[in-house]
Amino acid sequence: MRGGGGDVGAKRNDSLMKMMKMSGKNGFTLIEILIAIFILTTVLTTIYAAYTGTFRIVKDTQYADGIYSMARTAMGRMTKDIGSVCGSNGSFRFVSVKSETKREEFMELSFLSSAHLNFYDERSSGIAAINYFIIEEDGEEGCILKRKDELYREKPEGAEEEVSRDGGYILCEELQSLVYTFYDEVGEEYDSWNSESDSKAQHGKGPTVVSIQMAFINPDDEDRPYRFMTKVFLPVAGE
């Protein structure tokens, strides 16, 4: 009986040993688990980097597209306005002044034009007093260019023209700089223009050509803004 019991015990021990060996063959060591975790982390990191990089590219592309569209619209409107410059009853006004902002890269422009826009009454027409001016927003790097358009009312002789900066419509945003360059009828270049000055070249006249240079904020590189330029030829120079 003892011999039989011993055989049974030995068989059980053999079975346990076989099970332990099988279990050891089917399991993973700590090193194998750590390697698997490392590989998984590397793969996930690569996927995340590609994922965020793609979204960054999409975001930058959308921003650039928005800037190009905004610049095209603004310059198109300005080309029509300035290209339609005119006088009224012998009075001609085309004046540029330094903007009342903290930056030196901006100027305001006011002039008379036949390109009057009225969003409330399509039948409204006449000579418009148009003013381009800059608005700075607190906490924002870029500035806003606004356009104000009012029907021109003849002022009494000797009365000064008052330009209001209230109201108006936004032409574009995210502006870093806006530079005008003016050319007279003989091609001489000016940084500013004032038809009400005593200058022989400017008094009572408008420029023959106006160059408009816009620079928009580039959030990825402030030293390389988005730049746009156009030139507007005026059909009349206030003669």
Residue 170 lies inside a defined structural domain of this protein: yes
**pLDDT bracket for residue 45 (50, 70, 90):** confident
Average pLDDT (162-186) is: 85
Please count the other Cβ atoms lying within 10 Å of the Cβ belonging to residue 134.
Answer: 19
When divided into structural domains, the chain yields a total of 1
- Whether 103 is in a domain gets the answer yes
Which tops the pLDDT comparison, 59 or 182? 182
The pLDDT of residue 187 is above 50: yes
- Assigned domain for 173 exists: yes
In a domain, 23, yes or no: no
On average, the pLDDT of the chain sits at: 81
What is the domain extent for residue 162? 57-233
Q: Within a domain: residue 16?
A: no
The residue-averaged pLDDT of 32-51 equals 83
pLDDT for position 159: 45
pLDDT tens-digit readout, 166-177? 778 999 999 999
Whether 212 is covered by a domain: the verdict is yes
Per-residue pLDDT reduced to its tens digit, 97-109: 988 777 667 889 9
For the record, the structure tokens of 125 come out as: 């027409």
Whether 75 is in a domain gets the answer yes
pLDDT of residue 156: 47
Q: Is the pLDDT of residue 2 over 50?
A: no
**Tens digit of each residue's pLDDT (9 = 90 or more) over 46-67:** 887 877 777 677 677 788 889 9
User: What percentage of the chain exceeds 70 in pLDDT?
Assistant: 76
pLDDT in tens, 118-154: 766 655 677 889 999 999 877 777 899 999 998 887 6
Q: Is residue 87 a part of any domain in this protein? A: yes
> For 15-24, what is each residue's pLDDT tens digit?
655 655 555 5
